[in-house]
Chains A and B, each alone.
Chain A
Amino acid sequence: MEAPAEIDWPGYSLAERDWRWARVRAAAAKENFDCILVPLCVDGRNLHLSLEQARGTRSDGRFLTGLDNAAVVLPTDGRAPIVISDDDCGNDWIPEFRPVENSWGEAMARALGDLGMERARIGVSGLRRGFYTHGRAFHGVVNHGSYAEVLRRLPNARFENATEVVGHARYVKSAEQIACLRRGAAIAAAGIDKMIELARPGMDEGLLYTRVMQRLIGLGSEYYPLAFYSGLHGGGRLPRFENPAEGRTLRADYRIANEVDAVFGGLIAQEQQPIFLGRIPDAWKPAIALQRDMYDTALEHLTPGRPFAEFMDRINGFGEKRGMKSRLLMHGRGYGDDGPLFTPQNHGGRNRDLLIEKDCVFIVKPIAYSADGSFDTSWGGCVLVTEKGGVPLVKRTPGMIENV
């Protein structure tokens, strides 16, 4: 793969910006909003919730502006948006923005006033949990102090949740976004290769973590913490590390699980690869085979227009035929906290009526459980929805790696 110095990526085009804005405006018009407000959102680094949520908090602003931290007022009628940011400088999309003087709340209220929204119906993205985005954020992602100030200063406007308006615009990816996710998936796969190369009994786990991160960043990924799990089978759930561990060494017969993410063009790709430091026990092999077949079946049925209800029931019921259990683990890929979210905990029930659409990108990593429930395994990666079904963004082989 190319070294960072050889990567010639000019950033997203102005056409991409306009495509995104037009999608949001169209959805806002359909919902009769006069404008969409992406307010200041809580700081992911301070939030300390999951990696996805941390990255997802300010994702709508990044999607619409390319700036790290931005509030946006986007009028539905086609007028240019007003952007407020505390970034150092603008970019090709937003060469000039309004700085934050005294408070974000004051700046956002003024922007709404300048656009004549004093009595408008204003759609607020991120106010509550969404289907397509912010699915993990049960209480939304909006910063209290600034938003309360906006409400106080515009008492005659109507503010309503509009998370899905921006969320659905993010759900379907453009060709430019797909290209970035494809590169991200390839970088993540290279990170997995590095882990396979180094994961041996006696290896310092913190050093292994470091070398994999070094590989990911050294190929041009933004920093997104590797999630690393390790330990002997049978001792309960493996501990999860999102920073290099201290005082831990890999041992023979350790299981390793991971979520290897790479971020390119602001979009998070993920690949996942279980590793076993020893000979894979025969008792695990039926579940590993089940997982592979389940993944292939998922790709086959990941077709546009299909309701998720049908898709998830097929996957969740897949193991029964072989006397095992299976569960769908899958979610959208994008700027962070992308949905819909299917986990063994939530069973994906609230997403049943949503439709799979062409050019969506998901991380597909279903879980297979052995017949006695003592073993489970998940393998997966980024998958693009095409007319013919799901297509992996990077070619890899499902299964568990045996490092002897």
Chain B
Amino acid sequence: MTHHDIVIIGGGPAGLSAAAAARKAGIQDILILERDGVLGGILNQCIHNGFGLHTFKEELTGPEYAARYIAMVDEEKIPYKLNTIVADISKDREVTYINREEGLMTIKAGAIILAMGCRERPRGALNTPGYRPAGIYSAGTAQRLMNIEGYCVGKEVVILGSGDIGLIMARRMTLEGAKVKVVAELMPYSGGLKRNIVQCLDDYGIPLKLSHTIINIEGKERLTGITLAEVDQNRAPIPGTEEHYTCDTLLLSVGLIPENELSKGAGVSMNQVTSGPNVDDRLETEVEGIYACGNVLHVHDLVDFVSQEAALAGENAAAYVKTGRTGKEGRAVPLLAQNGVRYTVPQVLNTDTMEDTVTVRFRVADVYKDRYIAVYYDDKLISRKKKKVLAPGEMEQVVLKKSSFGDYPDISRIKICTEVE
């Protein structure tokens, strides 16, 4: 069986950054497996700008950002296979993939980096009642059809979900001559960046209806209309608030779900909140030698943070291959997300074996104003930082120092939470 030191599943921004970092850390034998016909992942269809401000101090479009990393991979001659889908990963790090040229192949990996990204939540998962006509697309599918294949999916559009993909597509479709009638959002706040509300909705006079959802879909063959209703604090439709919109297209931007079918097959334990693997400060899953980064680990808002996270995964996978180093020898201290913090990545910190600093990323459960982000070691308050605004759509972070654990040799848990004044 062919052996490769590091096998990276996914050639999008996470996979590319992990590969570059692993090569930089001295690993020669790397293989990236990518299911599409090109590297770059979802960035290839994200033709809008807003990428790279942290990484390159420039504002780039998605393809331009991807090109920078693809250039690194090409320069370093890191091998990759395109049009190749991974069918299975075993706990023993055997990777089975399929492509036209080789058929079905199983290879052995010294370390695996999971970088498969995420999929979109469909209408079916919302159980929205009504007919099932053509014209209902998840925003990303419409984006692909428009930006890669060059097709317009419809003329009169309603968008459900104010996450960034929905907002970006509101603008995109408007620019291509469609009429976007309304963007409806279930929650009382938007899930996307504020800048996108301005440049995608306000710029074009597209109304945003918060605390609204779709309660009916009409049209047997092709969509003909939808009914919106306002929802109460339990997100249940309020009778009497129904509004009908005629439309031929419904775009859904109602959530991204990390794509972990393969991870589960490898016996990787999954986190209920993120739908991604549980990882430690090395981004190693509970299965030794299997690492995770990018949207497959937890849904990110900025690709720059994906690249940072993936570089770390690459470095750690490289160290594992070189020295067998994992964090599993150390003291595993769980991180608890509480009181307004929905989850943290990583979920576990090895205080003995961690690097000098660890970036803990997290998201909050609601929009909070003038709150503190607090870190506790057991019951001892370690740090408190005031934040004017915290929102679920914007990922936050705290940096923990290894040196800070010196005084807490018997620490049993780290708590990250929000606090009011």
Are A and B subunits of one complex? Answer: no
Q: State the A residues within 8 Å of B (CB).
A: none
